[in-house]
Amino acid sequence: MAITGETVARRLTTVRKLLVLTGAGVSKESGIPTFRGEEGLWRQYRAEELATPQAFARNPKLVWEWYRWRQGIIKNAQPNQAHLAIAQLEIHIQNFLLVTQNVDNIHYRAGSRKLVELHGNIFRAKCNRCDKKYLEPLTGELPECACGGRLRPDVVWFGETLNPDDLDRAFGFARECDMALVIGTSGVVQPAATIPFLAKQTGAWVVEINPTPTALTGSADIVISQPCAEVLPEILSLMQNFSEAADDAQANRD
């Protein structure tokens, strides 16, 4: 990891308010397929075709089957070093918010709690009629609500609006943060993809961690083109070393 990682680690020792935005790339090293990578396909379908209200209305069984397939992969996956490092950042940095586009619940399993799941959570379901929420596991190919309505995964599908409170919280924090780490997202899906630009616009120092260039790369202040599960633990330990050195220097001055 070149000097860029060191620069990021130094900044993390003095950051006032840190926003972290993650996408499917942060779960890649846990073995979970990303959306737009070559492994992002399921059978002959693309995510954009199945993650829609129209697909669910047309063929709810197929859509449930896709989610059950994904739940199976996610259940067998473990949080990776990137998830764990991000959970550590939340402990070390008081003013912190993690905004994730992922629905895989792995940030929560890794210990993250200051967390906004912009696109919902694949292990929750909700009623199409009365909006009642249910936790998985649910039984049956076409789970039903107590009200008789049909249950669907509690995720935000393409063409659906995001939860306004989540949006307010994420956008509000992005406006006020002085540093944003944007990790493992292709920056394609709106409105999440606007968040790093909003942070930059309002004066934040934006760091992108992604092995491939994205829509954000040209605007980021620092780009680290490496897998996040490799580079985040290194940045975290450098940050801790710099903080300890600063504390020692302070102790010697006192």
Interacting residues with ligand BV8 (CB under 6 A): 23-25, 28-29, 34-37, 40, 48, 51, 101-103, 119, 155-161, 183-186, 188-191, 209-212, 214, 227-229
Cα-only R_g, the chain:
19
CA distance 94 to 222: 23
Pick between residue 135 and residue 147 the one whose CB is nearest to Zn ion: 147
149 binds, among ligand BV8, Zn ion, none (CB under 5 to 8 A by kind): Zn ion
How many Cβ atoms are within 10 Å of 123's Cβ, its own excluded? 19
Question: Which residues does 125 contact at the CB level (< 8 Å), separation at least 6?
Answer: 133, 134, 135, 136, 138, 143, 151, 152, 153, 154
Pick between residue 32 and residue 239 the one whose CB is nearest to ligand BV8: 32
15 binds, among ligand BV8, Zn ion, none (CB under 5 to 8 A by kind): none
CB of 156 to ligand BV8, least distance (A): 4
Pick between residue 17 and residue 87 the one whose CB is nearest to ligand BV8: 87
CB of 47 to ligand BV8, least distance (A): 6
CA distance 28 to 36: 12
Q: Is 60 in the site for Zn ion (CB under 5 A)?
A: no
Q: Residue 251 corresponds to which amino acid? A: A
Owner of token pair 């967390």:
115
Contact 154, 50 (CB under 8 A): no
Considering only residues 126 to 145 of the shown chain, the ones binding Zn ion according to CB under 5 A are 127, 129-130, 132, 145
Catalytic residue flag (residue 83):
no
List the x/- string, 142-161, binding to Zn ion by CB under 5 A. Answer: ---x-x-x------------
For residue 100, the SS3 value is strand
Pick between residue 144 and residue 166 the one whose CB is nearest to ligand BV8: 166
CA distance 32 to 232: 18
Q: Residue 112 corresponds to which amino acid? A: S
Question: Which residues does 7 contact at the CB level (< 8 Å), separation at least 6?
Answer: 222
State which residue has the least CB distance to ligand BV8. 25
CB of 184 to ligand BV8, least distance (A): 4
Pick between residue 41 and residue 57 the one whose CB is nearest to Zn ion: 57
DSSP 38-54: GGG-BTTB-HHHHSSHH
Q: Is 125 in the site for Zn ion (CB under 5 A)?
A: no
Positions marked catalytic: 119
Footprint of Zn ion (CB under 5 A): 127, 129-130, 132, 145, 147, 149
